[in-house]
Chain A
Amino acid sequence: MAIDLLRYLFGAVLLILFQFFLIQEINFGTWLKLLPYVLFVFLLPFTYNRYLILLTAFFSGLFLDALNNSGGLHAAACSTLAFTRIIVDTKILDTDAIQLQGFRYLTPVYKNFRFYALYLFFLTFLHHWIYFTLDFSSIYSFFPVLLVSIVSSVGSFLLILLYKIIAGIR
C-alpha cells in the first residue's frame, strides 16, 4: 500500500512538474489556460481511503501553488475536485463492480466512452471553475470566468484523453 501510494505521489509530482515547466510556459491565448495535471486525481484508486485522496489532492495542489507563488489556487481547486470525485464515485458509480472488473479507477472501458467523457469533463470543469474564480477574485468577472473555464476545461479534457489514447485507454 505504502509503495503503491509513493508510486502515485511520484506520478502526481511528475504531472505537476510537467505543468510547471512546460504547459505554463506556452501562451495559448487569453481564454485557453491548460491544467492537465488534474489527471493525477482521476488516477487515485477507489481502494484508497477518501481522506487520503482528499489530502493527496490538497497537498499536490499546494505544491504547485508554492512553485507558482499563487497562494492556494491549485490547492482549493484540487481539494474540490477530489471531494466531488469521491461523492460522485460513491453516489453514482458501483465501485465494487468496477474493481471486480479489474479497474482501480474509472476508465473508458467501464460502461461506455460517453459516460467516462462526461465524468471526466464535469470534474475537470469544476476544478477549472474553482481555480479561475479564485484567480479572478471578482464577482464582476462571472462571464469571463465561465468562458475561460469552459474553453480551458475542454483543452485539458482533450489533452487528458490524448494521454489516455497514448497510454493505451486503460
Chain B
Amino acid sequence: MVFLIRFIRKNLFLIVYLLLMIFSTGQVVRFNIYQQSYYFNTSSAFFNGMSRIKTDITDYFKLADVNKALLEENNKLKESSNENRKFSDTQQFIAKDSSGNKKYSYLTANVVQFTTHLQNNFITIDKGSNQGVKKDMAVLSPSGIAGIVIDVSPDFSLVLSVINSQFKATPMIPAANFRDGSVSWNGKDPTVIQLNGVSRFEKIATGMEVVTSNYSVKFPSGVPIGKILNVKQSGGSS
C-alpha cells in the first residue's frame, strides 16, 4: 500500500496526463456514428450560440451563391413538380385517386454548425424532435444531398455529413442507365467524393450527373449527388 501511494505520488503528473488522454481519446471513440449522442446532448446552448454567430457571418458572405443555388433549385422544381409524388403501380389505385400519395414531406432547417476540415464531419441543424425530426431522416441542400440525421435533441439535430468517412449513399447515373455501387468520401478533398464499385464495362463518362438511386432507402430518388469528375480504374472496378 505504501509502495502504491509512493508510486502514485512519484508519477502523479504522468498519471494525470494519462487520465486526460484516456478521457479525450474516449470522447473521440464515443463520438462515432453509433454512440455520439452523449457529446451532442451535453453540448450546451452556449456552443450552439457561438456556432450560430459563425454561421451568420459566413452566411452573409455566401448570400450571392445561396441565391444562385435557390434559383437553380426553383427551376428544377418547376420542371418536375410531381417528382416527390409516388403513384401506385396498379391502375385501379390511380383511377380512384388521381392526386396520388405523398411519399415525402419536407421541413426547412438552418445550419447552426458544420465542419469540413475533419475526417468525420457533422452538421448541426436548428430543428429537432419538437419539430418532427427523427433519426435516419435525409437532409438535402439546395444543390443536392447533405447527409443523414443521426441524433436528435428537442430543438437541434446532428447530421452525418456527406463528407464524413462513415457516410454512404446509393447512387445512380441516369445517362448511363447505371444503378449500382456506393458513394463515400475518402477524407481528402471536401469538394470531391468517390463513387466506388463500378464495373469496368459501364459506360461512364466525365460530366455525367450522379443522383440518388431509386433503391435508396433513406434519400428520395433523383436528388443530385454530383457530377463525374474523372474515372479511374483500380483492380476490377473503376
Contact = CB atoms under 8 A, between A and B. Distances in A.
A70 B118 contact: yes
A99 interface: no
Contacts of A70: 28, 31, 115, 118
Interface centre among A62, A68, A72, A76, by most chain B C-beta atoms within 10 angstroms, is A72
Contacts of B124: 69
B188 A25 contact: no
A43 interface: no
A76 B158 contact: no
B28 A73 contact: yes
B43 A134 contact: no
A-B CB proximity, top 9 nearest = A72-B24, A72-B27, A71-B31, A76-B24, A71-B28, A75-B24, A71-B27, A30-B188, A83-B17
A135 B119 contact: yes
B8 interface: no
Contacts, number: 93
Contacts of B188: 30
Contacts of B97: none
Contacts of A50: 13
A75 B26 CA distance: 11
Contacts of A73: 24, 28, 118
Interface string B119-162: 11010100000000000000000000000000000000010000
B54 interface: yes
A36 interface: no
B200 interface: no
B126 to A, nearest CB: 14
Contacts of B116: 27
Nearest to B14: A83
Nearest to B23: A72
B51 A136 contact: no
Contact of A72 (B25, B58, B187): B25
B190 interface: yes
A58 B22 CA distance: 12
Interface of B: 13, 16-17, 20-21, 23-31, 39-40, 43, 47, 50-51, 54, 57-58, 113, 115-120, 122, 124, 158, 187-190
A133 B16 CA distance: 21
A169 B235 CA distance: 54
A67 B122 CA distance: 12
A113 interface: no
A90 to B, nearest CB: 10
Interface centre among B50, B58, B119, B124, by most chain A C-beta atoms within 10 angstroms, is B119
Given A65-B27, A76-B21, 4 more contacts: A62-B24, A71-B24, A135-B118, A136-B119
Interface centre among A29, A54, A137, by most chain B C-beta atoms within 10 angstroms, is A137
A75 B21 CA distance: 8
Contact of B50 (A62, A65, A67, A76): A67
B17 A54 contact: yes
Contact of B118 (A29, A54, A68): A68
Contact of B20 (A33, A58, A66, A136): A58
Contact of B16 (A51, A62, A135): A51
A51 B54 CA distance: 33
Contacts of B29: 71
B17 A71 contact: no
